[in-house]
Structure 1
């Protein structure tokens, strides 16, 4: 019920309730709230039971969503197959058409990763800061401001 509330939010609600009703009336207000919630749940389950009895099938409260109700209790399996088969074939065609694009992206990603690795190992002739001179000691280019080896990630 309070799945989206964190500890801080719950504490704020308790403090506001304490200020509104005071320490004397707060237990009675919480008991009234609990009674209201239990009565609302009982009314919902009774409504679902009445509807199940009227229709002649077993209906759960989550089945009361109109889309779920129609799919589960009105459409037959053949009707569902007729409705979903064009969508399945279209989805299959889209996946087959996107396969060359996905393969191209995977190849480009592998190529970029290998380039990044070679730059990080010191295989680049240019410094990361843009000058074209090579390092004097043939080691990886260093970042002058931090005194450490520069990497491809520092540029991005």
Structure 2
């Protein structure tokens, strides 16, 4: 809601403020807080303007972070590219290497979902027919999954 504060936290802060200053002095305390924040912002912007004038470049408060300052004022674009290109190529290689694993997991998940659906359809059919699965209906519903496992095992044996 307000800078990472949720509704509950904001309500707790308001209640604490009411207990500390009381309902009659709270508006004056909030006005003083608003003036303090305004003065602090003006001081920060004036300091940034003075620093920009002294250095001779446009500096914003977020540029005062040491990493940003070095990146912006010391490194050239070629230097920055030279530093980041090995990481980018490593990331690309890692993504290319894990793509078959990801595709295999996706296929396995899809197969599991189709098996689960076929088993669920078989149990719904058994319930509709009034059977409880003791007469072999469960075996008939599980047969496609078993056949698929046999096919996969044969494929695996052919590869190895």
Q: Which category of TM-score, normalised to the shorter sequence, fits these structures?
A: 0.7 to 0.9
Check 1:121–1:57 CA distance in 2 against 1; reply closer, same or farther (3 A cut): same
SS of equivalent to 1:122: helix
Check 1:61–1:53 CA distance in 2 against 1; reply closer, same or farther (3 A cut): same
Distance 1:67 1:8 in 2: 35
Q: Which runs of 5+ in 2 are unaligned?
A: 127-131, 142-160
In proportion to residue count, which structure has more helix? 2
Matches within 5 A, 1:70-85: 70-85=70-85
Show the counterpart of 2:65: 65
SS of equivalent to 2:122: coil
Distance 2:62 2:41 in 1: 13
What root-mean-square deviation, in Å, do the aligned CA atoms of Structure 1 and Structure 2 show? Answer: 2.8
Quote how far apart the aligned CAs of 1:108 are.
0.7
Check if 1:13 corresponds to 2:13: yes
Q: State the Cα deviation string for residues 77-114 of structure 1 (Å, max 9, x = none).
A: 01101101111111111111111111111111111111
Distance 1:48 1:23 in 2: 38
User: What is the number of residues matched between the two proteins?
Assistant: 134
Q: Structure 1 length as normaliser, TM-score? A: 0.74
Matches within 5 A, 1:95-110: 95-110=95-110
Quote how far apart the aligned CAs of 1:132 are.
6.8
Distance 2:87 2:116 in 1: 41
Q: State the Cα deviation string for residues 23-50 of structure 1 (Å, max 9, x = none).
A: 2221221111111111111111112112
Q: Structure 2 length as normaliser, TM-score? A: 0.72
Segments ≥4 residues shifted beyond 3 Å: none
Show the counterpart of 2:119: 119
SS of equivalent to 1:121: helix
Q: Which runs of 5+ in 1 are unaligned?
A: 141-156
